[in-house]
């Protein structure tokens, strides 16, 4: 994965904008670059593009969308940015948070209106840390659906996507200007394409155990539920080109991955008033802190598993979520009319689970925080039918990466942009700060779509005026 001297590059074809990766970020970037008037080529290592985008629940948070306005939701980018900063304990760049929040509403409107991506607002519960309903998702709340919609949009724009093309080496000038990309084909052959600008949309390093051990040892041995082809290539190239990396310890974990099915059990089951227990039938943490930090808490429990306990009322808003319905169809969601019956169905000690529920209900009634700091007040008591699902904790994707500005230009440590390199999504530094606790639900697809769009627009511009990076 070296950076080679530009003079050594041999290529027959030069494309103004080359994008590495065909997930939400790469496809959004390609659509924006195409609209910006540039010819664009996407290189994707898989035979059929999926990425972590397809594995996700496809929720894109955005503030000030037309959809929100139609439903009377009084959200603003400033409020959204404040939520992002609060979750990250103010340890992310406030200017980036505000810029991304400001661009989020227009990006979602653009995807819906210009590219026919069908999104609806997720109602019925708030994700932890969001002060307004602002999750926009495909009808079945499925990343597969989102990826398919973006691929269809790229198809309508006649954007070329070369699959089975793993970008391996970049050719660059001494000043960091990327001139060409060499990629490997499945048969081992190699091809090189010249470029006017390069967009790195190849996500983070969740699929690279060595980088995980180096940057995030606490989660390196947990299951990785993201796309295995995301091996940190963007960071490795960027570092050699002189780019700044930041927040490499930040990540999105999830503390409720149905076991052994691997599906995301939406946190709405918890934020609506459910809770988690371990094999002893006992709670072990403040689940309301957020699903990302809960991954490590679950992995620390015996057998690295836990059970999410909820009820029919909490289930109602998530019926229709593809991930949930799949587990339900496979018998992974247990239900019973009594808490003892549920314990039996889940294989948990009956008396202990009944005691835990009684403690939770006492806290809920009193409004007093429990020993973990969780306040249950404001949510209704659990009532029959009681429900439960066995889960584990997993790493979803890494949030540290290349430092970019609001135009998705990759920056050097001093803040000077590289000449023609852009990044978004998991390849770029996210908005989640340096650790597990800073991830606000949806931060992943937020920066994939918003920075992807910015990267495509900027790359199209840079490919036309190579000596002057755009001031958008
Ligand atoms: C189970 C799960 C649920 C999630 N749910 C949500 C959610 O609801 N909302 C949310 O905001 N986020 C969610 N996320 C996170 C979200 O999926 C990611 O943040 C987002 O998909 C990142 O998009 P991306 O385009 O950067 O990366 P990806 O979608 O992973 O795309 C990267 C692409 O780059 C390709 N690639 C990598 N290296 C190379 C190379 N060298 N050459 C060529 N191609 C390469 C990969 O094959 C891949 O197709 C979830 C993640 C998981 C795992």
- Are 165 and 175 in a shared domain? yes
Distance 144 CA to ligand 1 centre (A): 11
The domain tally of the chain equals 2
Cα 53 to ligand 1 centroid, rounded to whole Å: 4
Q: Are residues 383 and 403 in the same domain?
A: no
Ligand 1 test: best mutation among 202, 259, 432, most atoms within 8 Å of CB? 202
Buried b (16+ CB within 10 A) or exposed e, 45-76: bbeebbbbbbbbbbbbbbbbbebbeeeebebe
Percent of the chain exceeding pLDDT 90 equals: 92
Residue 471 falls inside a structural domain = no
CB of 51 closer than 6 A to ligand 1?
yes
Q: Do 442 and 361 sit in the same domain of this protein?
A: no
User: Are 282 and 366 within one domain?
Assistant: yes
For the record, the structure tokens of 282 come out as 């006992």
pLDDT band of 28, cuts 50, 70, 90:
very high
18 lines ligand 1 (CB under 6 A): no
- Kindly state the average pLDDT of the residues 230-250: 97
Please give the distance, rounded to the nearest whole angstrom, from the Cα atom of residue 217 to the centre of ligand 1.
21
Average the pLDDT over each of 111-125, 299-313, 457-471 and give the range with the smallest value.
457-471
Contacts of 125 (CB under 8 A, 6+ apart): 268, 271, 272, 317
Q: From the CA of 24, how far away is ligand 1's center (Å)? A: 7
Residue 380 in any domain: the answer is: yes
Residue 470: is its pLDDT beyond 80? Answer: no
Q: Is 432 in the pocket of ligand 1 (CB under 6 A)?
A: no
Instruction: Check pLDDT > 50 for residue 413.
Output: yes
Q: Which of 344, 372, 395 is the last residue of a domain?
A: 395
Q: Does the C-beta of 250 come closer than 6 Å to ligand 1?
A: no
Mean of the pLDDT values across residues 37-62? 97
Ligand 1 atom with least separation from CA of 168: 41
430 lines ligand 1 (CB under 6 A): no
Q: Are residues 256 and 382 in the same domain?
A: yes
Residue 364, domain member (yes or no):
yes
Cα 49 to chain centroid, rounded: 16
Q: What is the per-residue pLDDT for 469?
A: 43
| pTM for this predicted structure | 0.91
Task: State whether the Cα torsion 149-442-135-92 is positive or negative.
Answer: negative
- For residue 472, is it within any domain? no
Claim to verify: residue 21 and residue 158 sit in the same structural domain: yes
Distance 312 CA to ligand 1 centre (A): 32
Q: Give the model confidence (pLDDT) of 283-296 as tens digits.
A: 999 998 889 999 99
Domain assignment present for residue 452? The answer is: yes
Task: Say what angle helices 443-464 and 94-115 make with each other, to 10 degrees.
Answer: 80
Ligand 1 and 44: CB distance under 6 A:
yes
Q: How far is the CA of 387 from the centre of ligand 1 (A)?
A: 31
CB of 448 within 6 A of ligand 1: the answer is yes
pLDDT of residue 272: 87
Ligand 1 near 392 CB (within 6 A): no
Q: Are residues 300 and 373 both part of a single domain?
A: yes
For residue 21 and ligand 1, the question of a CB distance below 6 A is answered with yes
| 472 pLDDT higher than 60 | no
CB of residue 449 inside a 6 A radius of ligand 1: no
Burial 361-387 (b: 16+ CB within 10 A, else e): eebbeeeeebeeebebeebeebeebbb
- pLDDT grade for 466, boundaries at 50, 70 and 90: low
Which long-range contacts does 167-171 make (Cβ < 8 Å, 24+ apart)?
167/20, 167/43, 167/45, 167/202, 167/233, 168/1, 169/1, 169/2, 169/3, 169/4, 170/3, 170/4, 170/198, 170/237, 170/241, 171/3, 171/4, 171/5, 171/6, 171/8, 171/9
Task: Determine whether the shortest distance from the Cβ of 445 to ligand 1 is under 6 A.
Answer: yes
Average pLDDT over residues 5-14: 93
Q: Do 179 and 324 have their domain in common?
A: no
22 lines ligand 1 (CB under 6 A): yes
Other residues' Cβ atoms within 10 Å of the Cβ of residue 358 = 11
Domain containing 283 — which CATH number?
Answer: 3.90.700.10
pLDDT in tens, 323-378: 999 999 999 999 999 999 999 999 999 999 999 999 999 999 999 999 999 999 98
Assess whether the C-beta atom of 20 lies below 6 angstroms from ligand 1: yes
Which of 395, 425, 447 marks a domain boundary? 395
Confirm or reject: Cβ of 55 under 6 Å from ligand 1.
yes
Kindly state if the Cβ of 142 falls inside 6 Å of ligand 1. Answer: no
Confidence band, pLDDT 50/70/90 cuts, at residue 2: confident
> Looking at the structure, do residues 341 and 261 belong to the same domain, yes or no?
yes
- Angstrom CA distances, 182 to 10, 160, 194, 452, stand at 9, 17, 9, 22
Q: Whose CA is nearest to atom 27 of ligand 1?
A: 203
pLDDT reported for residue 289: 86
pLDDT at 471: 42
Q: Whose CA is nearest to atom 5 of ligand 1?
A: 56
Helix-strand-coil percent breakdown of the chain, rounded to 5? 40, 20, 40
Full DSSP string of 122-175: --SSPPTT-SS--EEE-TT--HHHHHHHHHHHHHHTT-EEE-S-EEEEEEE-TT
242 and 139 in one domain? yes
Please, are residues 245 and 238 in contact by the beta-carbon 8 Å criterion? yes
Q: What percent of the chain has pLDDT over 70?
A: 98
Cα 98 to ligand 1 centroid, rounded to whole Å = 23
Nearest CA to ligand 1 atom 3: 56
Instruction: Tell whether the model's pLDDT for residue 119 goes beyond 50.
Output: yes
Q: How far is the CA of 203 from the centre of ligand 1 (A)?
A: 6
Is 435 domain-assigned? yes
H helix and E strand count, the chain: 15, 20
Residue range(s) defining the domain that contains residue 382: 252-395
> Closest Cα to residue 376, out of 254, 265, 268, 270?
270
Q: Which CATH number is 89's domain given?
A: 3.50.50.60
Mean pLDDT score of the chain: 95
Q: What does the pLDDT read at residue 126?
A: 86
Assess if residue 365 is contained within a domain: yes
On whether both 20 and 136 belong to a single domain, the answer is yes
Q: 316 pLDDT exceeds 70? A: yes
Same domain, yes or no, for 278 and 297? yes
The CA 150 to ligand 1 mean position distance, Å, reads: 13
Cβ–Cβ < 8 Å for 45, 69:
no
| Ligand 1 pocket, residue 204 CB under 6 Å | no
* Alpha carbon of 313 to ligand 1 centroid (Å): 32
Q: Whose CA is nearest to atom 15 of ligand 1?
A: 444
Specify the pLDDT at position 76: 98
Any ligand 1 atom below 6 A from CB of 264: yes
CA–centroid distance, 469 to ligand 1, in Å, is 27
């Amino acid at each position: 994965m070296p950076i080679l001297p530009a003079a050594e590059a041999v290529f027959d074809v030069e494309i103004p904008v080359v994008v590495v990766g065909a997930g939400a970020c790469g496809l959004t970037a390609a659509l924006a670059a195409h609209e910006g008037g540039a010819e664009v080529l996407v290189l994707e290592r898989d035979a059929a593009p999926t990425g972590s985008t397809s594995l996700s629940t496809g929720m894109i948070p955005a503030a000030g969308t037309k959809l929100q306005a139609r439903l009377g939701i009084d959200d603003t980018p400033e409020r959204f940015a404040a939520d992002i900063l609060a979750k990250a304990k103010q340890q992310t760049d406030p200017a980036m948070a505000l810029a991304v929040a400001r661009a989020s509403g227009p990006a979602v409107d653009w995807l819906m209106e210009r590219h026919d991506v069908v999104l609806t607002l997720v109602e019925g519960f708030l994700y932890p840390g969001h002060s307004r309903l602002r999750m926009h998702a495909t009808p079945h709340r499925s990343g597969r659906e989102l990826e398919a919609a973006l691929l269809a949009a790229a198809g309508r724009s006649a954007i070329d996507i070369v699959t089975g093309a793993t970008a391996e080496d970049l050719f660059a000038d001494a000043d960091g200007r990327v001139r060409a990309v060499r990629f490997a084909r499945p048969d081992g052959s190699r091809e090189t394409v010249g470029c006017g600008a390069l967009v790195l949309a190849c996500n983070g390093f969740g699929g690279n155990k060595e980088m995980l051990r180096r940057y995030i040892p606490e989660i390196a041995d947990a299951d990785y539920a993201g796309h295995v082809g995301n091996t940190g290539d963007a960071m490795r190239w960027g570092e050699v080109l002189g780019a700044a990396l930041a927040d490499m310890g930040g990540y999105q974990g999830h503390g409720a991955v149905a076991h052994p099915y691997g599906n995301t059990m939406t946190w709405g089951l918890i934020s609506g008033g459910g809770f988690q227990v371990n094999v002893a039938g006992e709670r072990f943490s403040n689940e309301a802190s957020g699903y990302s930090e809960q991954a490590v808490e679950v992995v620390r429990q015996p057998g690295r598993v836990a059970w999410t306990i909820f009820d029919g009322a909490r289930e109602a808003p998530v019926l229709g979520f593809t991930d949930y319905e799949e587990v339900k169809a496979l018998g992974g969601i247990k239900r019973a009319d009594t808490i003892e019956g549920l314990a039996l169905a889940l294989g948990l000690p009956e008396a202990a689970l009944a005691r835990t529920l009684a403690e939770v209900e006492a806290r809920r009634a009193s409004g007093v925080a429990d020993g973990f700091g969780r306040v249950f007040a404001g949510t209704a008591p659990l009532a029959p039918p009681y429900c439960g699902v066995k889960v584990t904790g997993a790493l979803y994707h890494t949030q540290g990466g290349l430092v970019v500005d609001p135009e998705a230009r990759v920056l050097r440590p001093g803040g000077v942009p590289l000449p023609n390199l852009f990044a978004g999504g998991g390849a770029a530094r996210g908005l989640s700060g340096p650790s597990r606790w800073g991830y606000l639900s949806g931060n992943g697809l937020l920066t994939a779509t918003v920075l992807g769009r910015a990267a495509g627009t900027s790359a199209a511009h840079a490919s036309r005026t190579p000596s002057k990076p755009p001031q958008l």
